[in-house]
């Protein structure tokens, strides 16, 4: 996901002769790191030679086929940035088995959430443990639709956010979410505001060349198989490039059908 603090794995040349460094970066999630250690390429001894966490050499034992990097003993704070350097012999590379345990997870708590009559969505949140983006969703056409993103700060303190939404006629419903590992998502409660905007009307253009609205609106057009063929925001949809058939038009907060 864009701007998501992800795990970075880099290989650089180490300070020791005939050695390299595997670098793993992420956020401390109260989990230790487990490493599968390869044999040296000549079959004598093991690959990993030295471990550093945030620039400091650790006492972790590397002379085995698998070992644990004991982050819990380093008095790290939950959500703190962690950089692990595994210095290893050239020609072989250790393998980190649980990289996902250093990726940020959605832990936010929304304290307040409001949406103004003009569509300014604001919320305050705390207990973030990773710089994950907030995804803003709007409920319309019988489903939750993502309409934008705001980058999360990623620390436990209280943080204030805002996002300008485009209101449709009638009741408007919104929520925010963050997604973590394996698409696990955490959601806020939803919030509603009633708009005084008039519901737009539409007409099929001459020759089935398009659909004209009398006001700008968000829209989606689906074919008979449920595939989105048109999507956007505006006063006109060009349909002259669509084949003949049955279509479903979603606009404002309504759904209808039309034939081409």
Dump pLDDT digits (tens) for 26-59: 888 889 999 999 887 777 789 999 999 999 999 9
Instruction: Give the model's confidence band at 118: pLDDT under 50 very low, under 70 low, under 90 confident, else very high.
Output: very high
7 versus 103: the higher-pLDDT residue is 103
CA 213 to chain centre: 34
Instruction: Give the model's confidence band at 231: pLDDT under 50 very low, under 70 low, under 90 confident, else very high.
Output: very high
Which residues does 166 contact at the CB level (< 8 Å), separation at least 6?
119, 147, 218, 233
How many C-beta neighbours within 10 Å does residue 62 have? 19
Predicted local confidence at residue 104, as pLDDT: 84
Selection from 209, 184, 211 nearest residue 200 by Cα: 211
Rg of the chain (C-alpha set):
26
Selection from 27, 20, 24 nearest residue 9 by Cα: 24
| Distance separating alpha carbons of residues 166 and 233, to the nearest angstrom | 10
Q: Global pTM?
A: 0.73
Instruction: Give the model's confidence band at 87: pLDDT under 50 very low, under 70 low, under 90 confident, else very high.
Output: very high
């Amino acid at each position: 996901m864009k701007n998501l603090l992800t795990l970075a794995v880099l290989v650089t040349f180490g300070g020791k002769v005939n050695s390299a460094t595997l670098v793993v970066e992420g956020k401390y999630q109260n989990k230790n790191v487990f490493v599968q250690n390869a044999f040296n390429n000549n079959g004598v001894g093991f690959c990993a030679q030295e471990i550093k966490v945030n620039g400091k050499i650790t006492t972790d034992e590397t002379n085995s086929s698998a070992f644990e990097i004991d982050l819990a003993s380093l008095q790290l704070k939950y959500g703190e940035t962690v950089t692990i350097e595994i210095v290893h012999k050239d020609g072989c590379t250790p393998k980190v088995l649980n990289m996902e345990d250093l990726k940020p997870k959605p832990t936010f708590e929304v304290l307040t959430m409001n949406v103004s009559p003009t569509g300014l969505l604001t919320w305050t949140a705390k207990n973030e443990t990773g710089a994950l983006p907030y995804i803003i969703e709007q409920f319309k056409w019988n489903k939750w639709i993502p309409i934008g993103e705001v980058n999360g700060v990623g620390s436990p303190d209280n943080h204030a956010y805002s996002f300008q939404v485009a209101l449709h006629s009638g009741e408007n419903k919104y929520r925010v979410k963050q997604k973590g590992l394996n698409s696990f998502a955490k959601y806020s409660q939803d919030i509603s505001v009633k708009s005084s905007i008039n519901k737009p009307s539409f007409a099929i253009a001459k020759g089935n060349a398009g659909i004209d609205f009398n006001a700008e609106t968000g829209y989606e057009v689906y074919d008979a198989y449920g595939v989105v063929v048109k999507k956007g925001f505006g006063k006109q949809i060009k349909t002259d490039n669509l084949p003949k058939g049955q279509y479903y038009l979603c606009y404002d907060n309504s759904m209808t059908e039309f034939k081409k």
